Chains A and B, each alone.
Chain A
Amino acid sequence: MKALSLEIRDITVGYDRADVLSGVSLTANAGEITCLLGANGSGKSTLARAILGLTPPRSGTIRLDGRDIAGLAVHKIVGLGIGAIPEGRRVFPKLTVTENLRTGAYLVRDAALVATRMTEVFRVFPRLEERAGQLAGTLSGGEQAMLSIGRGLMGSPGLLIIDEPSLGLSPKFVKENFQVIRRINEAGVSVLLVEQNVHQTLEVAHRGYVLSGGRVVAEGTAEELKRHPELVAAYFGNHGG
């Protein structure tokens, strides 16, 4: 699938009563890595959920390659070419590695194509092939992260939404993950990368946004964000990301 663009205009999103995001706009250009930075609780995951339709926005528009998707059922939105790598990995613990990958290709009805994609995922993550028949719940955290990424790729998405892939992983794994994300993008997939790991994220991202308290407080190219006063104060000052 070709790289997809995403254009979010002025959305308001909330769970029960209070709005978590208010008046958020964001553009992810086709073929780029767009990152979404921000402290814990600033609303990054809520934005990812709003795009997928898991927490539909109360107002505003979300356009995928020009088509308004706000209000569609989750599986319909995903079917338009979005791959999801959810926060906390969320592999299906009682499905095997292979079955987990199959869920990622649920909308692909061509069995040969599913097999080809699985081979590709195994090429990127040989560890998964070694564990192919194992239940996902028995994998290590790093392996579950690989599985979650692999599963998100199985549908051959035009836009990949990745929510904190490095959370809870060892520094070595984190570094590998960022390299994998860069390679996925170079293969022609737009990426929306939600992260707290500012330094490494801005190394791979083209553009980015910073959320705080449910609002966009900074945006620009990765180079601009590296010099942005808010970010420098919040992240680069005391605890370097």
Chain B
Amino acid sequence: MDLALIAQHLVNGAMLGVIYALVAVGFTLFFGVLDVIKFSHGDVVMLGAFTALATSAGLVGSGSALPPAIVLAAMFIAAVGGMAVFGALMAKFLVLPLRKAPTLNVLLITLMAGTVIREAVRLFYPQGSNPKPFPRLLPTGAWEIGEFTLRYDSTILLVTGVVAIVLVHLVITRTRLGLAIRAVAQDPETASAMGIPFHGTVLATFAIGSALAALAGVVNGLYYSEVSFNMGLLLGAIGFSAAVIGGLGNVYGAILGGFIFAALQTIGAVLLPIASAYKDVFAFAAVILLMAWKPGGLLAERSADRV
């Protein structure tokens, strides 16, 4: 294999890693503060992508010749902001009321909520059953470095994702909200006895996690130039696996898990060049082996000291 191809795989792998990490961080944050697995998270990724799609359709359809940068910005803001609100609402009306219910019920109900979101998009978005082309709004050029070409659009998406991950890190480690999230994750009762509002912190956590999911959905749409109503199924499964690989509840574990899963897929694609459709099978099989080796995840921690 030549160098250019290896570099191509690296960029592609990094891109996937960023997307998966963004999804996985949500899973791990929710588990951290509430001990729940929110199985509708993948469908929030999809809903974020469709929110962006609808925004661009609305702006372009209105006939105004807006510059692509403005349309893009509007798409990101609508998707990220919309899903932040949506995530907080789901926490308030779906997850928090089930706080005393068995974990299995929460799982089941969020699973059903995911189906509702998915089917609603399929039925109510115009021709929602078909894959939809996602607008190509990023600059199309590329840097030529020897044999290797680095596309502008990939670079922009990669940087966007990495910046988002760094921002999450800063929010969690440096801000008052981050302190509240970590305290609630470790000991919700004592946190509230210190004056930290439990409900408010949970809502904020779900808003952050869902905003990141929306970002993942938009980045994914821009990268593949296509979205579909069921894209959240695989992304949800991968994001969840990534969070578990890293050790549920650990934010850095989730990021690491996202990149590990992307690496596995990329290795799968390289090893099975003719049958690259099997790369997911390869990656998930490797995850199963990984979990057999480290059942608690790579950065496993006792439940008492999460996040």
Q: Which residues of A contact B (CB under 8 A)?
A: 52, 54, 73-75, 78-79, 84, 86, 90, 92-95, 99, 102-104, 106-107, 137, 151, 155
Contact = CB atoms under 8 A, between A and B. Distances in A.
Interface in B204-255: none
B97 interface: no
Interface string B173-214: 000100110110011011111111111000000000000000
6 contacts: A54-B189, A75-B197, A75-B198, A92-B183, A93-B186, A151-B194
Given A94-B306, A137-B305, A75 B183 contact: no
Contact of B198 (A52, A74, A86, A94): A74
Nearest to B185: A94
Contacts, number: 70
B193 to A, nearest CB: 4
A236 to B, nearest CB: 33
B46 to A, nearest CB: 33
Which 8 pairs of residues, A with B, have the shortest CB-CB distance? Answer: A74-B192, A94-B305, A84-B193, A107-B195, A90-B190, A78-B195, A75-B197, A103-B194
The number of chain B residues touching the other chain, given as a range, is 20 to 34
A93 B305 contact: yes
Contacts of A102: 179
A104 B179 CA distance: 11
Nearest to B173: A99
A92 B184 CA distance: 9
A103 B179 contact: yes
A103 B193 CA distance: 10
B195 A155 contact: yes
Contacts of B191: 92, 103
Given A75-B198, A93-B305, A94-B307, A52 B182 contact: no
Interface string B152-181: 000000000000000000000000100110
B104 interface: no
A93 B303 CA distance: 11
Contact of B193 (A86, A94, A95, A137): A86
Nearest to B176: A106
B80 to A, nearest CB: 27
Contacts of B275: none
Nearest to B194: A103
Given A106-B176, A106-B180, A75 B195 contact: yes
Contacts of B198: 73-75
B304 A84 contact: no
B192 A54 contact: yes
Given A78-B192, A94-B182, A94-B307, 18 more contacts: A54-B189, A73-B199, A75-B195, A75-B197, A78-B194, A84-B190, A84-B193, A84-B194, A86-B190, A92-B186, A92-B187, A92-B190, A93-B186, A99-B182, A103-B180, A106-B179, A106-B180, A106-B195
A74 B199 CA distance: 11
A99 B179 contact: yes
A143 to B, nearest CB: 17
B201 to A, nearest CB: 10
